[in-house]
Chains A and B, each alone.
Chain A
Amino acid sequence: MEPVLQCKNLNIAYNGHTVVKDVSFDVMPGEYLCIVGENGSGKSSLVKGLLNLVPVRSGSVSFAEGVSGGIGYLPQQSPIQRDFPASVEEVVLLGCIKNTGFRPFFSKSEKKTAEENMKQLHIFDIRKKSYRELSGGQQQRVLLARALCSADRMLLLDEPVTGLDPIVSSELYSVIHKLNHERNLTVVMVSHDIASATANADKILHLDEKVEFFGTADEYLDSNLGKRFAKGV
């Protein structure tokens, strides 16, 4: 089987300061990969590099044919968004925007896609509510639904549970797990929650500028690095 994503010797630097150094890994179709590491270890930069949102200094990122058009991205929330006056429905529909081309309005089928994704994430009943009135967990579901509208192959999630309480976090993890299985979506998630990462993901990439570990979740838990981090350092 061919990998959906191949990252080879990737280097990313901001203002001459290296944040991602010589990172290589493959992701197979349907796989669930968690990128873990401490704050400032380059996790988010790596994801942005994969999406070409930040300039890559050297190395290559290649997706299998047809994948790059079907990636759903869930970025970290910006402070601007928290009190943004937009309805749930409007935000989710924005996930369909890449197919609109020069058409200024959304089509019926795009609205249908948005509706299905809202139903799956149990936010259909609050679709008329304003995004700023929602709880943190609901806001993440809305952003995940938006990501799903553009994802038929892969989800890239950047710290989706930041700031959520443990119960809401585990709900969100089970939603992502379900999507990974039911829709056969490849999942790449940045997280600093090692316990949930190893419980949910097939593979772990531990990053500290460079790759410290890359392998299955079980191997990670057996490794010295994994043992140290799983204890909660």
Chain B
Amino acid sequence: MDFSAFFEYLSMMVTYDFAKKALIVGSLTALCSALLGVSLVLKRYSMIGDGLSHVGFGALCVASVLNLAPLKVAVPVVIVAAFFLLKLSENSKIKGDAAIAMISGTAVAAGLVITSFVDGLSSDVSGYMFGSILSIDDSDVPLSVILSVVVILLYVLFYNRIFSVTFDESFSKAAGIKVDLYNALIALLTAVTIVIGMKLMGTVLISGLIIFPPLSAMRVCKSFKSVTAVSAVISVICFVVGIFLSFVFDTPAGATVVLVNAVTFAVFFAAGKLKKA
């Protein structure tokens, strides 16, 4: 397929309202998650992202049982969980990774049990689990856009501080940076990003959106700035290509996006090896 055909197809796709909404919300989520993913991967906090998406699943289930707006329930719950998981990871006394796995399992189990009491929610549940391109409704779009813009602005504004804290907590602390505050900021922004992206990408797939783009970028980039920028660009391109392919081949959106990311990673991995050789 040549490029003109690609754009033709793409322009046809955006005439569908649901696809347009999914592209807007998804691209912004992809951008936010790629930025935050760099710090999460480097700080060895990847599991926190995974844990948060599972807590988000539980929260979305509770919201649909109570018939409440999903994002309004999930955002605060996942933010609280983010601070909790951050504390767990920092505390060397408790095995952080085991604790996160435990919380993830409990949240998913609780969500499944609660929704089983109410009839007709199984499609909601499967949508939350694996994501759905049809799930983005009108009320989600403005909220997602506002939250994403806030995430991106805060990230740019505190870029050097986030970089410093990611590279060296001790030095940053000695230089008077409130390390705990910036760790909390990273956790908070991650929580918000995950909740925005969950309905589209799904609980089990959203963490792929967070860790793949930074890992791909790190294969070839030498500076922190280029890793961050390339990660953001890869993430948005992979998302758009993934949605497009899912549209053409009628495959699940979230899963297709993650597979495109996986293939991209393989390509960057090979490129990194070639560059060294």
Contacts and interface: CB of A to CB of B under 8 A. Distances in A.
Given A85-B223, A94-B160, 15 more contacts: A53-B173, A76-B170, A80-B43, A81-B167, A85-B227, A86-B223, A87-B223, A94-B168, A94-B171, A97-B160, A97-B172, A104-B159, A106-B160, A130-B222, A146-B171
* 8 nearest A-B residue pairs (beta carbon): A130-B222, A87-B223, A75-B170, A86-B224, A98-B175, A73-B174, A51-B174, A94-B164
A97 B223 contact: no
Contact of A129 (B160, B222, B224): B222
A98 B177 contact: yes
Interface string B143-177: 00000000000001111110110011011111111
Contacts of A53: 170, 173-174
A97 B156 CA distance: 15
A174 B174 CA distance: 25
Interface of A: 48, 51, 53, 71, 73-76, 78, 80-81, 84-87, 89-91, 94-95, 97-98, 100, 104-106, 128-130, 133, 146-147, 150, 156
B167 A97 contact: no
A73 B158 contact: no
Contact of B167 (A84, A104, A128, A133): A84
A100 B163 CA distance: 14
Given A97-B177, A104-B156, A104-B160, A90 B221 contact: no
A85 B221 contact: yes
Given A84-B42, A150-B175, A100 B170 contact: no
A94 B221 CA distance: 19
A18 B224 CA distance: 39
Nearest to B225: A90
A105 B42 CA distance: 22
Secondary structure dominating the interface of A? mixed
21 contacts: A48-B170, A51-B174, A73-B171, A75-B168, A80-B44, A80-B167, A81-B168, A84-B42, A85-B218, A85-B223, A86-B163, A86-B167, A89-B223, A90-B163, A90-B225, A97-B160, A104-B156, A128-B222, A146-B171, A147-B171, A156-B174
A146 B171 CA distance: 10
Contacts of A81: 167-168
A84 B172 CA distance: 16
A97 B175 contact: yes
Contacts of B173: 51, 53
Contacts of A90: 163, 223-225
A45 B173 CA distance: 15
Contacts of A105: 160
Nearest to A93: B160
B265 to A, nearest CB: 15
A127 to B, nearest CB: 10
B163 A75 contact: no
Given A94-B160, A97-B175, A104-B160, A80 B224 contact: no
A130 B177 CA distance: 24
Contacts of B222: 85, 87, 128-130, 133
A71 B176 CA distance: 11
Interface string B73-110: 00000000000000000000000000000000000000
Contacts of B223: 85-87, 89-90, 128, 130
Contacts of B156: 104
A17 to B, nearest CB: 13
B167 A94 contact: yes
A81 B42 CA distance: 9
Contacts of A128: 222-223
B161 A97 contact: yes
A91 B225 CA distance: 11
Contacts of B43: 80
Interface string B190-227: 00000000000000000000000000001001111101
Nearest to A91: B167
Nearest to A87: B223
A128 B226 CA distance: 12
B224 A85 contact: yes
The residue in A80, A86, A147 that gathers the most chain B C-beta atoms within 10 A of its C-beta is A86
Nearest to A71: B174
Interface string B217-248: 01001111101000000000000000000000
A78 B171 CA distance: 11
B164 A104 contact: no
Contacts of A87: 222-224
A104 B157 contact: yes
